Amino acid sequence: YGPGDTNVIDRYFDGPELYNVTWESDANVGYQVGAWFVAYLADQVGEDKLLEFWINTQSGELFEENFLSTFGGDYRAYVDEFDAFLHSNDQTALLELLPTS
């Protein structure tokens, strides 16, 4: 869960929603939990959708429209589902989302 007295998930839940994290609020939480969110998305929709999202971003499609058209739902709803996943699973289940190499 990360170094320090408080694990990154607890720090995340004590701060802003993932889509409101800024460099000023806690960049480390945004980076680490953001990576977890990407792993969660890959698990839910497949890696091809992540690549499609990135390609659409490079072509100038705005984030919100791109997320909706690529993943079929609002990014806030996906973050809410991700938060529920974080709350309802133990450390082993959470770590299984992350690649080991």
pLDDT of res. 72 = 95
CB atoms within 10 A of CB 25: 11
Number of domains into which the chain is organized? 1
Helix axes 75-88, 23-45, angle to 10 degrees: 90
Find the largest Cα–Cα distance for the chain: 42
Could you give the dihedral angle defined by the CA atoms of residues 56, 59, 64 and 66, in that order, rounded to the nearest 10 degrees? -30
* pLDDT for 1 beyond 60: no
In a domain, 101, yes or no: no
For 87, the domain range is 8-96
In a domain, 32, yes or no: yes
Residue type present at position 97:
L
pTM of the predicted structure, to 2 decimals:
0.83
* pLDDT for 25 beyond 80: no
